[in-house]
């Protein structure tokens, strides 16, 4: 695959990823996805154009070349949503490159993404969320592992953290505080409260953990002492939901949706929930909570009263 990239194009790709990492604060998983998307586009263009294109050829790419790539992706049964994401990556690369080197990338930037139905979040019921938290405790006979898993899922549900945010917490936070300063997507920071039940769960895990939880090390550890990975959390939740008969949508991310929805149902203010989740747009929070348009307009009117 790397043979489809000339040294100059490979350098461009690495410079763009370095920019995203250093200036934009993109997460490693996001950078990997960007690399795959853009590399896949460039590999196709190498075959389509009859050889690895250099920067000049890529700057002169036509709408027909882009449509050919999109058609080939759909021919490989790539879904509309995945193709739209890949196109977004390509546009991001070209947008950065055009701004840096001063050329017109309108043809790429104006390409329309395939339409796809919006996938609405599916939070757990309040009973389902409680059952999930208690059921996770029964998945491992090792007390410290069970306590760790309970602590993670309690934070996801109790504070609305993304799984990446929970697993990036530093052990130097111990003893766990009443509130956390979280750095989310795009480096945006927010403060989230920690419920007493979550503090207790983390404290129990820390007391049982056989690994040194010193400052500068990951709070949540795998069996061998390395940083706990998101797949481990997903697996323990998968085993739990199968035992409890919960839907397949009962994933780590669903706990974040559940946090927002249940908080709203209990009378929480949508604007406050937006801040807790770290959303830039209220409409994103609306989707997370599945709140209806009438409730959204109530919040909007309260925030923007008419003269």
Mean pLDDT computed over 86-95? 94
Mean pLDDT computed over 215-228? 95
Is the sign of the CA dihedral 86, 116, 249, 281 positive or negative? Answer: positive
Residue 162 among the catalytic residues:
yes
pLDDT given at position 297: 52
pLDDT given at position 229: 94
% of the chain with per-residue pLDDT over 90:
53
Q: Which of 82-86, 173-177, 234-238, 280-284 has the lowest mean pLDDT?
A: 280-284
Residues 127 and 226 sit within 8 Å (Cβ to Cβ): no
Catalytic residue among 81, 122, 253, 271: 253
pLDDT given at position 216: 95
pLDDT given at position 288: 58
pLDDT given at position 115: 78
Q: Classify residue 34 as exposed, middle or buried by CB count within 10 Å of its CB (0-12, 13-18, 19+).
A: buried
pLDDT given at position 185: 74
pTM: 0.59
157 vs 1: which has the higher pLDDT: 157
Q: What's the rounded Cα separation, in Å, for the pair 239 and 246?
A: 10
Residue 257 among the catalytic residues:
no
Mean pLDDT computed over 27-54? 89
Q: What's the rounded Cα separation, in Å, for the pair 114 and 80?
A: 6
Residues 6+ apart with CB under 8 A from 47: 4
52-61 residues labelled b (16+ CB within 10 A) or e (exposed): bbeeebbbeb
Highest mean pLDDT among 30-39, 252-261, 278-287: 30-39
172-181 residues labelled b (16+ CB within 10 A) or e (exposed): ebbebeeebe
pLDDT given at position 305: 47
Residue 279 among the catalytic residues:
yes
Read off the pLDDT band of 270 (50, 70, 90): low
Read off the pLDDT band of 193 (50, 70, 90): confident
Read off the pLDDT band of 172 (50, 70, 90): very high
Helix 7-22 vs helix 80-101: angle between axes, to the nearest 10 degrees? 100
Please, what are the domains in the chain?
2-109 (1.10.150), 126-303 (1.10.443.10)
Read off the pLDDT band of 1 (50, 70, 90): very low
Q: Which of 161-175, 180-194, 200-214 has the lowest mean pLDDT?
A: 180-194
Catalytic residue among 148, 221, 257, 279: 279
pLDDT over threshold 60, residue 2: no
Cis peptide bond N-terminal to 175, omega within 30: yes
Mean pLDDT computed over 226-254? 91
Read off the pLDDT band of 306 (50, 70, 90): very low
Catalytic residue among 59, 185, 211, 271: 185
Catalytic residue among 162, 221, 241, 257: 162
Q: What's the rounded Cα separation, in Å, for the pair 75 and 86?
A: 15
Residue 295 among the catalytic residues:
no
pLDDT over threshold 80, residue 112: yes
pLDDT given at position 279: 64
Distances 236 to 42, 140, 155, 210, 255 between C-alpha atoms, Å:
38, 9, 15, 20, 14
Residues 6+ apart with CB under 8 A from 130: none
Query: Which of 287, 305, 155 lies closest to 296 in space, CA to CA?
Result: 287
Catalytic residue among 26, 221, 256, 257: 256
């Amino acid at each position: 695959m790397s043979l489809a990239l000339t040294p100059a194009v490979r350098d461009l790709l690495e410079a763009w990823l370095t920019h995203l990492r250093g200036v934009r604060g993109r997460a490693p998983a996001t950078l990997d996805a960007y690399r795959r998307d853009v590399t896949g586009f460039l590999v196709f263009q190498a075959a389509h154009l009859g050889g690895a294109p250099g920067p000049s050829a890529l700057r002169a790419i036509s709408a027909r070349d882009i449509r050919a790539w999109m058609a080939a992706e759909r021919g490989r049964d790539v879904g509309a949503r995945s193709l739209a994401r890949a196109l977004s990556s390509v546009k991001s690369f070209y947008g950065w490159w055009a701004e840096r080197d001063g050329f017109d990338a309108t043809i790429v930037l104006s390409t329309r993404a395939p339409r796809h139905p919006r996938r609405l979040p599916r939070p757990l019921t309040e009973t389902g969320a409680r059952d999930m938290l208690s059921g996770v405790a029964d998945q491992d006979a090792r007390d410290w592992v069970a306590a760790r898993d309970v602590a993670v899922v309690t934070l996801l549900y109790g504070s609305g953290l993304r799984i990446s945010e929970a697993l990036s917490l530093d052990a130097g936070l111990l003893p766990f505080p009443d509130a956390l300063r979280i750095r989310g997507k795009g480096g945006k920071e927010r403060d989230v409260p920690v419920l007493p039940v979550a503090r207790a769960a983390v404290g129990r895990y820390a007391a049982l953990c056989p690994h040194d939880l010193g400052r500068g090390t990951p709070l949540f550890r795998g069996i061998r002492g390395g940083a706990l990975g998101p797949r481990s959390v997903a697996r323990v939740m998968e085993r739990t939901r199968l035992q409890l008969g919960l839907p397949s949508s009962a994933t780590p991310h669903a706990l974040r949706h559940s946090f927002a929805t249940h908080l709203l149902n209990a009378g929480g203010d949508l604007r406050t929930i937006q801040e807790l989740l770290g959303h830039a747009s209220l409409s994103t929070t609306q989707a997370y909570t599945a709140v209806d348009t009438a409730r959204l307009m109530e919040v909007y009117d309260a925030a923007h009263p008419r003269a």
